[in-house]
Structure 1
Amino acid sequence: MSQLLVTSYGDPRESLSLQPSTNPPLGTDDILVEMEAAPVNPSDFLLVRGGYGVHPQLPSPVGGEGVGRVIDAGGAAGTPLVGRRVVILPTYEQGTWADTVTTSLRNVLPVREDGDPLQLAMLPINPATAYLLLQKFTKLAPGDWVALNAANSAVGLCVIALARLQGLKTLNIVRREAAAQAVRDAGGDRVIVAGDDLPAQIAGALDGAELALALDATTGPIVADLAAALRFRGVLVTYAFVTETTPSVRAQDLIFNEVTHTGFWLRNWLSHAPRTEIEQTYHTLNDLVATGQLAVPVDATYRLDDYHEAVEHALTPQRTGKVLFTFT
């Protein structure tokens, strides 16, 4: 058995180490999960670099989410899960880039047996983030417009799929034409390759309509352009960032149009939402994944021994899908 550890904060190419793992004694609320698959996410790399919202004491296991099968339980409460397939939630109390993972019962949820394990492994973070972005911040009605940048990302593609199921329209912003075609193929209603005059591009794409919701994954000047296109009391949510640029909204939009700019981090929702809400959210998403209505493209899978190649592949800017670890 082996696991990947973060040994120092820095470049993911240099800060990870594959080490033998031993399973600690299980507490009464613990279970042991034999992993099937675990994605490599940008948030994992941000954690490795020391820029994420959690800073574990090093060396530390790494990997935010994954899917596997429960093979042992430390107490009676976990016994019914033995033999069941579960997803590990991104509480960051354990790492998922490992052959086996010891975790608390509260950090897992059982999932359907008929789902693709690669898609199930990616269920806890990106589909859940997309679903909650569309549900939690403003009341949306069929026909409303939702804008998103980084629309070709995993979260972006999930937003597009979920928006279509709700009858919403999406205005999708990307940085290159190849990404634009991928978003069109995924069902995006309007797609913009961001140019020098983004406000004019947004206005042209909306053709007189206004945004109900804008979703920002990059920060920077684009935040002001998205906010300016919102309707009265529209909402802009920043849920990820790729630079340290401070996002800003113009005072005119804040005051005269009463727009709201807020943030979202899935881990906060997992920490504060009622357990029934968490279970219902993932039950809904699990059904959509199992029936093929929600899927994230996969670029490649790797074994843990090949983690150097996996990391390099995941850091490639022109990737067209996710990179995952798979396990025996």
Structure 2
Amino acid sequence: MRQLQLIAHGEPSEVIELNTVSEPALGQEDVLISMEAAPMNPSDFLFVRGMYGIRPAFPSSVGAEGVGRVAKIGSKVDVALRGKRVLILPTYEQGTWADEVVAPVRNLVPMSDETDPLQLSMIGINPATAYLLLNRYVSLMPGDWIGQTAANAAMGQYIIALAKLAGVKTLNVVRREEAAEQVRRWGGDRVVLQGDNLHKDVEEALDGKKLSLVLDAVGGPPVGELAKSLKPGGSIVVYALQSGQFPAISPGDLIYRGLSLHGFWLINWIRNAPRTEIEEIYQKLGDLVADGSLSAAVEHVYPLAQFKEAFRQSLKSNRSGKILFQFGATDQTDRG
């Protein structure tokens, strides 16, 4: 079996190798999965660079999420799972950038055989994070407003889609006009360009409304400007720090207006949530993908052998969609 292996921390194209490894013996509760698709995420590259919340031993398999079909099962695994499509939970206990993956059955959730595997492969991290961000911190009602930074990222697209399904309005901050157009096409209700007058522009866009929730992936000043438009008692949730800067939020806003600041990491939820809750949420997201309510733009898919080109594309800041590995693919494919 072929898998990408991380041999040290550093730049992805320099520290990841494509190696052929022998198929490991299955434990009693393990499953061998023949992979169909696996995306690349910013968190994967943080992991590769040694900047993530998990530090591997080398060599390490790599890639957090993906889907495939069960090819072999351990002696204590339900035989009904054989041949089924499964989602691999993004626990980093196994690497998905491989044509075959061995995983414990506890890290798998069955998925529909009929749904596009490319779209299903992407629900492990971003849609699950978006769903939990919208449901855990504030009791949002139809007509409420939320704000988000980095709204043109795949996470932003999922947040907009899930908010729209709940009747919640989105105020979206981006850095470029072409990104603003993209967010409008996705259904973002208001889009504001990040600049020197961000608070004023946000207030004008909201036209007297107040935000109930702010979701931040950037850190630094923008989230603090959004926080000024929160209702008293509103929440800010930080789920990534693209700038590397702590969110610049006024202590006075936290104290006098009763705002709350939270950090969210999906792996903590996977570790601590009841298994029934995990299955229920992922199957709900799978159903939304199946009926077309939930999707992310895909720019290119690559076979595993073209991993260096795939990394180059994925690390570009001005992509039009996600980059994925598609297993069994022999040629670069444009899905734009």
Instruction: Give the TM bin, normalised by the shorter chain.
Output: over 0.9
Unaligned runs of 5+ in 2: 329-336
CA-CA distance at 1:248 after TM superposition = 2.9
Query: What does the per-residue CA deviation read over 1:192-237, in whole Å, with 9 as the maximum and x for residues that have no partner?
Result: 1111111111111111111000000010111211221110110000
Correspondence list, 1:281-320, <5 A: 281-320=281-320
1:31-46 equivalence runs, <5 A: 31-46=31-46
Deviation at 1:26, TM superposition (A): 0.6
User: Does the alignment pair 1:247 with 2:258?
Assistant: no
> Helix, strand or coil for the counterpart of 1:234?
strand
Tell me if 1:8 matches 2:8.
yes
Write the deviation string for residues 105-139 of structure 1: whole angstroms up to 9, x where unpaired: 01010001111010011011111111111011111
Q: CA deviation at 1:77?
A: 2.3
Q: Which residue of 2 aligns with 1:179?
A: 179
TM-score (norm 1): 0.99
Q: State the shift of 1:146 in Å.
A: 0.6
**Structure 2 partner of 1:72:** 72
Matched with 1:215 is: 215
Specify every segment of 5 or more residues in structure 1 that has no aligned partner in the other structure, as ranges: none
Computed over aligned residues only, the root mean square deviation of the Cα atoms, in angstroms, reads 0.8
Measured after TM superposition, the shift of residue 239 of structure 1 is 0.2
Whether 1:105 and 2:105 are equivalent positions in the alignment is yes
C-alpha distance in 1, partners of 2:49/2:169? 36
Q: TM-score, normalised by structure 2?
A: 0.96
Matches within 5 A, 1:130-279: 130-279=130-279
2:88 is matched with 88
Q: Is the 8 A contact 2:149 2:223 kept in 1?
A: no
State the match for 1:57 in structure 2.
57
What are the Cα deviations for residues 148-171 of structure 1, in whole angstroms up to 9, with x where unaligned? 011011111000001010000000
Partner of 2:331: none
The question of whether the paired residues in 2 share the 8 Å contact of 1:72 and 1:79 is answered with: no
**Conserved? CA contact 1:78–1:105, under 8 Å:** no
Whole-angstrom distance in 1 between the partners of 2:170 and 2:243: 24
Find the aligned partners of 2:124 and 2:253 in 1 and give their Cα distance: 34
Is this contact kept in 2: 1:173–1:191, CA < 8 A?
Answer: yes
**Displacement of 1:317 after TM fit?**
1.0
* Conserved 8 A contact 1:29-1:78: no
- SS of equivalent residue, structure 1 residue 208: coil
What is the DSSP-based 3-state SS (H/G/I as helix, E as strand, rest coil) of the residue aligned with 1:129? helix
C-alpha offsets along residues 10-56 of structure 1, whole Å, 9 cap, x if unaligned?
11121111100222111111000000000011110000000001011
Tell me how far 1:282 sits from its aligned partner.
Answer: 0.7
| Alpha-carbon distance in structure 1 between the residues aligned to 2:188 and 2:313 | 26
Contact 1:65 1:124 in 2 (8 A): yes
Deviations 1:235-279 (A, max 9, x none): 000001113212232121111110001010111000000111111
Aligned to 1:326: 326
- Runs of 4+ aligned structure 1 residues displaced above 4 Å come to none
Counterpart secondary structure, 2:148: strand
AA in 2 matched with 1:3: Q
Query: In 2, distance between residues paired with 1:247 and 1:161?
Result: 25
Is the contact between residue 160 and residue 170 of structure 1 (CA under 8 Å) also seen in structure 2?
yes
For residues 147 and 319 of structure 2, what CA distance do their matches in structure 1 show? 23
Q: Distance in 1 between matches of 2:204 and 2:57?
A: 49
Write out aligned runs for 1:9-24 (5 A): 9-24=9-24
Structure 1: which amino acid aligns with 2:155?
A: V
Matches within 5 A, 1:22-33: 22-33=22-33
Distance 2:22 2:154 in 1: 33
Distance 2:78 2:242 in 1: 39
Query: How high is the sequence identity, in percent, across the aligned residues?
Result: 51
Number of matched pairs: 328
Q: CA deviation at 1:58?
A: 1.2
